[in-house]
Amino acid sequence: MSIEQTSPAMSARFPGLAGKVAIVTGASRGIGCGIAEVLGRQGMKLLLCARSQEAGEAFAAGLRDAGVECLWVTADLSTPEGARLVFDEATGRFGRIHLLVNNAARLRSAPFLELDEETYRKSFEANVRMVYGISYLVARHMADVGGGNIIHISSVGGLRGHRGKAGYDASKGALDALTRSMSAELAPHGIRVNAVAPGATRKPAIPPRFARRLKETEKGIPLGRLGTPEDIGAAVAFLASEAAAYITGQILYVDGGLTAQLTPPGIDI
């Protein structure tokens, strides 16, 4: 793994982040890795965590080889024990936490008429619990040490409905509401809370059988392409920086204009 520039978003530069400490959850693949790479380029010290130990350890090792101070922790943040482990490892290694990026989520869902209680709990409750557990510990820490930043990774599904993903979309809508509530309550403690809501985002490896479908998806995006994990990472770095010092309680849609349009191209209402 390398953090050489792979997209325009990788050129983001926020020198004030250098030397600061960030926790990035769900950082074994996809968007989580893109966020970690961009923050690593800013000179941040990273604690990365997820349930996927082998992939996560390999990714973290690649960042270390590229010069990033990086610690990997395997943990399930949907449990209190997992959240406590990540928090204790971060404070034990680095002392202070300046930034928490809540990227971890479970995508399991189903069409509403097939959404049994167990699936709903796994797609809704676990997603919200993963954010709450670690955020509670980190927010109390930040309040004690003079402030910080918490950034949730939401989704366009918190604003617009996906077909077949009712539980997932509900969890992201709840996350958007939590962002606003946390921002109001934590502002007096010097803690800013925002969310980044990605649209359709490119995965590292796309099977050839999906190539045509992705081309059709891109036609429906005003900017004409899928997002990249680094696009999301650049938005996170901006919100964590002093350039965004007066921004809190906001949902930043990084979606190529997807949610700005009433209909996709070619459909008139």
Active site residues: 168
One-letter amino acid at 135 equals: S
Quote the CA–CA distance of 249 and 151 in Å, as a whole number: 10
CB of 9 within 8 A of CB of 234?
A: yes
Other CB atoms within 10 A of residue 118 CB: 8
Residue among 87, 74, 9 at smallest CA distance from 41? 9
81: which 2 tokens? 């024990």
CA 7 to chain centre: 18
Q: Distance from CA of residue 23 to its chain's centroid? A: 11
- 207-237 per-residue burial string, b: 16 or more CB within 10 A, e: under 16: eeeeeeeeeebeebbeeeebbbbbbbbbbbb
Contacts of 41 by beta carbon, 8 Å cutoff, 6+ apart: 3, 10, 12
Comparing CA positions, the residue from 29, 30, 48, 51 lying closest to residue 40 is 48
Burial (CB < 10 A; 0-12, 13-18, 19+), residue 136, is middle
* Longest CA span, the chain: 57
C-alpha to C-alpha distance for 55 and 33, rounded to whole angstroms: 11
